[in-house]
Amino acid sequence: MMASFAVRLFFTILRLIPVRLLGAFGAGLGRAAYYLDVRHRGIAMRNLNRVYPGRPDAWKRQISRESFAELGRTCFELPHVYLRSKTFLLSRIEIENEQVLLQAESLGKGVILTACHHSNWELGALCMSMLGHHAEVVYRTVRQLALDHFVLQARSRFGATLRARDAGLRWMPRALKKNHCVAVMVDQHLSNGSPVPFLGYEGLTTTMPAIFTNKYHTPVVGVELHRIGKGFHFRLKFCSIPVDEQVTDDIETMRVICDSFAPMIHQRPELWLWIHRRWLYLDEKEQDEQGRDEQNRKNQEQV
């Protein structure tokens, strides 16, 4: 409890600094980390080389550096995201197409909300409950217990229910039956996921949204949070994802869901989390192939 209190006190102190200054400071640290963190810079550049093979190297370095800056900006905005009032946070967000979500809820089958790590995703996760929707959010637990406790309190303070990613899905049919919104990120590597194209390349992906929409015909709505400029101003956009009810293949349904986020990422790629090993599945396959090719070359040399 003392450790959790210390985390809250630290965030409370940081919150006294104007959010724009905190964000700018975080962006500066992020750009510095780009030069210092060789490992994650390499991951970002490998991902960018995969998705944008025809782009100049200078462009990819710039996008990688600004992606580091966006991550730093997002992290240092968290004291305001986690502690400021609903009124303050909503005053910084423009809502677009909320009728898409309202129409999906009117069907009474629950709603599956899909999103990505784009812009300040922690603020995006809070938006559903701030807008008065019954949200149940799938999340990845934080390893540090005190920080995890604090984050859970912050994420649920407007009424959302947090569901740990490794806690199973027995709760989900009940949530959908109550016509709740179930929110899940679809742009993370999941070691026990299935190969689904994301930005044109296969990555191990959760199939949870597809399984439930194919079984219960639950509507799927995409949630996009766009940063306006570089300050703490955003546009929250809801997008209907047309899932064909005649299609029962979960991989194909997930492909449609993942493809729906490609225009958002391509529009401002620096806002996406390129340092994540999204295509670890392909990286490992390519390494295995290179290893086999090298072994074959050595065997031929010995003949």
pLDDT tens, position by position, for the chain (303 residues)?
Answer: 566 778 888 999 999 999 999 999 999 999 999 999 999 999 999 999 999 999 999 999 999 999 999 999 999 999 999 999 999 999 999 999 999 999 999 999 999 999 999 999 999 999 999 999 999 999 988 878 878 888 899 999 999 999 998 888 899 999 999 999 999 999 999 999 999 999 999 999 999 999 999 999 999 999 999 999 999 999 999 999 988 777 789 999 999 999 999 999 999 999 999 999 999 999 999 887 877 767 677 777 665
**Closest CA relative to residue 46, chosen from 201, 196, 186:** 201
pTM of the model: 0.92
Pairing of strands 181-185, 111-115: parallel
Helix-, strand-, coil-residue percentages of the chain, each rounded to 5? 55, 15, 30
Contact partners, residue 44, CB within 8 Å, separation at least 6: 64, 67, 68, 274, 275
**Closest CA relative to residue 196, chosen from 183, 211, 182:** 211
Residue holding tokens 């990286």? 283
| Burial class of residue 72 (count of CB atoms within 10 Å of its CB; 0-12, 13-18, 19+) | buried
